[in-house]
Amino acid sequence: MEILGTLWSTFFDLESMRAALPELLRVGLSNTLVLALFSALIGTVLGMVLAVCGLSRSRWLRWPARVWTDVFRGLPAAVTILLIGVGLAPVGLELWGPNPYPLGILALSLIASAYIGEIFRSGIQSVEAGQLEAARALGFSRPAGMRLVVIPQGVRRVLPALVNQFISLIKDSSLVYFLGLLATQRDLFRIGQDAAANTGNESALVLAGLFYLVITVPLTHAVNAIDRRLREGRRPDANDHDDSELPPLALAQEAR
């Protein structure tokens, strides 16, 4: 019982949590969301470019995409953040001053793009070859068939894996503290870590972890619900002739 009491007072002390809560809400949560959202957006765009280049017939597009993916998937996230954050620090100082966030976002985006590119590539390759062939038979060019028929189906198939990568990105955002953060720039993890170091109690760090759960768990359940809805569709209505019920090739043909 004494051991349980020690664990509870060390990791679940309500007073320590209450003291850290305002700063976690006011500073840490917003900074974490900024890092994760911008990195996810940039990483998704770069990942789609990598996926398309990786599937290209041209080796001049395929091999650079392969090298990019291997490098940023192979390096530890902390090493990538330090290489970019420290290596490009002089450029960052000239462009936007001492704020480390742009370089941190750049590093996280490059890491995310390598994983997201592989996710997109696997999703696109999982689409039956007959889909593109049917699109070509309808008069679409290969790029148009990929853009309007194959890629939308591939993205839908990898939606859960894509959200899992976003969740990993939210957690990896805590590594930006390696670049040095001002008091107003700290994320959830850094605030919890500082509070734990100052008080000798780990409860604030546990509370920061609970914030990560609050962000990621609903996101997981939401994407599972969306994926289930996309797979099952909705019950047909005799009076409903929504274009969303048309097959992908019909939608693509209407888009021409």
CB 190 within 8 A of CB 28: yes
Closest by CA position to 185, among listed 176, 172, 197? 176
In contact, 160 and 223? CB cutoff 8 Å: yes
The string of DSSP codes covering 54-88 is: HT-S-HHHHHHHHHHHHHHHHS-HHHHHHHHHHHT
Measured CA to CA in angstroms, residue 147 lies from 40, 59, 194, 224, 238 at distances of 21, 20, 48, 25, 31
pLDDT of residue 182: 77
pLDDT at 157 over 80: yes
What would the pLDDT profile of 52-91 be if each residue is shown by its tens digit?
Answer: 898 888 889 889 999 999 999 999 999 999 999 888 888 8
Q: Which residue has the higher pLDDT, 176 or 8?
A: 176
Question: Within the chain, how many helices (H) and strands (E) appear?
Answer: 14, 0
- Residue bearing tokens 């509870």: 8
Whether the pLDDT of residue 42 is over 90: the answer is: yes
pLDDT at 250: 55
Residues 32-49 have a mean pLDDT of 93
Specify the range with the lowest mean pLDDT, choosing from 33-47, 88-102, 108-122.
88-102
Domains with residue ranges and CATH for the chain: 13-233 (1.10.3720.10)
Q: What is the pLDDT of residues 119-149, one digit of tens each?
A: 999 888 888 878 878 887 888 787 788 888 8
pLDDT value, residue 253: 54
Mean pLDDT for all residues in the chain: 83
Question: Which of these ranges, 29-33, 41-45, 210-214, 249-253, has the smallest mean pLDDT?
Answer: 249-253
Average pLDDT over residues 109-115: 94
Q: Does 233 score more than 80 pLDDT?
A: no
Contact 50, 117 (CB under 8 A): yes
Whether 43 has a pLDDT exceeding 90, the answer reads: yes
Q: Is the pLDDT of residue 238 over 60?
A: no
Q: Which amino acid is at 256?
A: R
170-218: pLDDT as tens digits: 988 888 888 877 778 888 999 988 888 888 888 889 999 999 999 988 8
